[in-house]
């Protein structure tokens, strides 16, 4: 076997292994520190910088909710927030917190948020 074929086989194997490794990684799920309740309202905290964290949040369905998206020196595309289910689209301030009200009737199913380019995303799964 010549050297070029051997190198190609090794690189292919590494790429395939890498694809399976990344695909098998669980999403960043956090429902303990990201969700709280104050005065009957559910608060969900997500940070936006180089993506969204946590990426998946488990929350209680049918409860008035406030999504708080925090930025701190955020100048990447995660500052362009789109939430299709709420018909929400806004450029977030580079540093601060944006509060987005989600009515009890909207707090059902899965709410998807993403950056303006579609590169970064998060989910709130109301259960």
d(CA 20, CA 13): 11
Top pLDDT among 17 and 107 is at 107
pLDDT at 111: 98
> 31: pLDDT confidence band, cut at 50, 70 and 90?
low
d(CA 89, CA 113): 10
pLDDT at 23 over 60: no
Domain 35-126 annotated CATH 2.60.40.420: yes
Q: What is the mean pLDDT of the chain?
A: 86
Within 8 A by CB and 6+ apart from 27, the residues are 55, 56, 123
Percent of the chain's residues with pLDDT above 70: 76
d(CA 48, CA 92): 9
pLDDT (average), residues 20-40 = 67
* Tens-place pLDDT, residues 95-112: 999 999 999 999 999 999
Cα 62 off chain centre by: 21
Top pLDDT among 28 and 62 is at 62
């Amino acid at each position: 076997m010549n050297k070029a074929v051997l190198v190609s086989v090794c690189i292919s194997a590494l790429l395939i292994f890498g694809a399976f490794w990344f695909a098998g990684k669980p999403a960043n799920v956090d429902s303990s520190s990201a969700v709280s309740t104050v005065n009957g309202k559910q608060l969900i905290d997500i940070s936006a910088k180089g993506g969204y964290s946590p990426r998946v949040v488990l929350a209680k369905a049918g409860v008035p909710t406030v999504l708080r998206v925090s930025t701190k020196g955020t100048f990447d595309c995660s500052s362009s927030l789109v939430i299709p289910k709420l018909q929400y689209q806004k450029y977030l301030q580079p540093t601060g917190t944006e509060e987005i009200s989600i009515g009890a009737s909207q707090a059902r199913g899965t709410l998807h948020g993403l950056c303006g380019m579609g590169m970064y995303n998060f989910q709130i799964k109301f259960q």
